Amino acid sequence: MTTEPNAPTSRGTVTIEIERCKGCALCIPACPPAVLRMSEAHNGIGMPYPELLPGCTGCGACLLVCPDFCFEVWQYDAPLRHAEAGAPS
């Protein structure tokens, strides 16, 4: 993966317990930077779940509206460019 010069940065990130997600999708419109989308894939109970795109601010709106306690929210000490934001794949 390469790092593009104008890549969006992430000031924060989330961890998501996708196996607990019931696919309600309430987090999608709740996300102010609109960096969550529902997956094409399905989890173990057959539901789509949120995927994170670059640009998370760590605001925690997803956590606030999630009925299933799926989100944990983090803020980076320094903004990360999206290629660096992820863990090694």
Partner 1 sequence: MSERSRPSDALPTDVRPVEGARRVGRMRPALLLHEDHDLCPGCGEPVAIRVLLEAIEELGAAQRAIGVIGIGCYTAFTSTMDIDLVQALHGRAPSVATGVKRMQPENLVVTLQGDGDMVNEGLQEVIHTAARGENVTCVLLNNGVFGETGGHMTSTTVIGQRTKNTLEGREAATHGHPILIGDLLAPLGGTAYAARGTVHDAHGVVQTKAMIKRALTAQQQGLGFSFVEILTMCPTGWFVPTADGPGYLDDVLRPVHATGELKRDGRILTTRELLDAARKQQP
Residue 9 near partner 1 by CB under 8 A: no
Question: Which of 17, 33, 34, 46 is the binder for partner 1 (CB under 8 A)?
Answer: 17
Residue 76 near partner 1 by CB under 8 A: yes
**Tokens standing for 87?**
């863990």
Work out whether the CA dihedral 17, 53, 88, 60 comes out positive or negative.
negative
Task: Kindly state the DSSP code that residue 87 receives in the 8-state scheme.
Answer: P
Q: How far apart are the first and last CA of the chain?
A: 10
Please tell me the distance from the alpha carbon of residue 4 to that of residue 11, in angstroms, as a whole number. Answer: 17
Residue 71 near partner 1 by CB under 8 A: yes
Please tell me the distance from the alpha carbon of residue 4 to that of residue 84, in angstroms, as a whole number. Answer: 11
CB of 19 to partner 1, least distance (A): 6
CB of 30 to partner 1, least distance (A): 5
Question: Which of 7, 25, 33, 81 is the binder for partner 1 (CB under 8 A)?
Answer: 25
Question: Which of 7, 9, 23, 81 is the binder for partner 1 (CB under 8 A)?
Answer: 23
